[in-house]
Amino acid sequence: MSGISPDAATDAAGADVTDHSVSPAEVARVQRRTVWTLSLGQVLGGLAFGATLSLGAVLAAELSGDEAFSGLAAAAVTLGTAVTAVPLARLARARGRRLSLTVGMAIALVGVVLVVVAVAADSFPLLLGSFLLVGAGQAANLQSRFAAADLATDATRGRDLSIVVWATTVGAVLGPNLTGPGELIGDAVGMPPLTGPYLFTVVAQLIAIAVYLTTLRPDPLLLAQRVVAAAPKTATAFVKPDSPIAARYAIFAIAAAHGTMVSVMAMTPVHLLHHGASLAIIGLTLSLHIAGMYALSPVFGILSDRVGRVPTILVGQALLAAALLTASFGSESTVAVTVALILLGLGWSASTVAGSTLLTEASSEERRTRRQGFSDFAMSIVGAGGAILAGLVLGWIGYGGLALVVGVLVVSSLLLSPLGMRVAARATPTG
Least confident of 225-234, 322-331, 347-356: 225-234
Q: Is the pTM of the predicted complex or chain greater than 0.75?
A: yes
- The 3-state DSSP class for residue 232 equals coil
Q: pLDDT grade, residue 175 (50/70/90)? A: low
- State how far the Cα of 14 lies from the Cα of 116, in Å rounded to an integer: 33
Q: Which residues pair with 10 in a beta bridge?
A: 16
**Distance from chain centroid for Cα 334:** 28
Q: Which residues of 389-418 are buried (b: 16+ CB within 10 A; e: fewer)?
A: ebeebbeeeebbebbebbbebbeebbeebe
State yes or no: pLDDT of 108 exceeds 90.
yes
Residue type, 86: V
Q: Which of 47-61, 111-125, 143-157, 410-424 has the lowest mean pLDDT?
A: 47-61
Structural contact between residues 143 and 42, judged by C-beta atoms closer than 8 angstroms: no
Question: pLDDT tens across 15-54, in order?
Answer: 443 445 677 888 889 999 999 999 999 888 877 666 666 6
Q: Is 24-230's fold the same as 244-427's?
A: yes
Q: Exposed (0-12), middle (13-18) or buried (19+): which is 45, by Cβ within 10 Å?
A: buried
- Would you say 406 and 260 are in contact if contact means Cβ atoms under 8 Å apart? yes
Whether the ω angle into residue 418 lies within 30 degrees of 0, i.e. cis, is no
User: Could you state, in order of their start, the residue ranges of all structural domains in the chain?
Assistant: 24-230, 244-427
Q: Which fold has domain 244-427?
A: Growth Hormone; Chain: A; (1.20.1250)
- What distance in Å separates the CA atoms of residue 138 and residue 93, rounded to the nearest whole number? 18
Query: Is the torsion defined by CA of 307, 310, 297, 171 positive or negative?
Result: positive
| CA dihedral sign, ordered 74, 75, 77, 82 | positive
Average pLDDT of the segment spanning 297-318: 96
Classify 16 as helix, strand or coil.
strand
Tell me, rounded to whole angstroms, the distance of Cα 223 from its chain centroid.
Answer: 24
Three-class SS of residue 274? Answer: helix
Which amino acid belongs to residue 61?
Answer: A
Are residues 75 and 138 in contact, defined by beta-carbon separation less than 8 angstroms? no
340/263 Cα distance (integer angstroms): 13
Residues paired with residue 16 on neighbouring β-strands, in sequence order: 10
Alpha-carbon distance of 346 to 341, in angstroms, equals: 9
pLDDT tens digit string along 265-288?
888 888 887 888 887 788 788 778
With residues binned 3-state (H G I as helix, E B as strand, rest as coil), the percentages for the chain, rounded to 5, are 80, 0, 20
Q: What dotted CATH number matches 24-230? A: 1.20.1250.20
2 pLDDT exceeds 60? no
**Which whole number is the average pLDDT over 5-21?**
41
Instruction: Tell me what pLDDT residue 384 has.
Output: 85
Q: Cα–Cα distances in Å, from 164 out to 11, 79, 247, 282, 297?
A: 29, 23, 21, 27, 9
Residue 155 has pLDDT above 70, yes or no: yes
Using the predicted structure, report yes or no on whether residue 231 has a pLDDT greater than 80: no
Report which of residues 27 and 325 the model is more confident about: 325
Confidence (pLDDT) at 153: 86
Beta bridge partners of 91: none
150 and 35 Cβ atoms separated by less than 8 Å: no
Q: How many other β-carbons are positioned within 10 Å of the β-carbon of residue 14?
A: 12
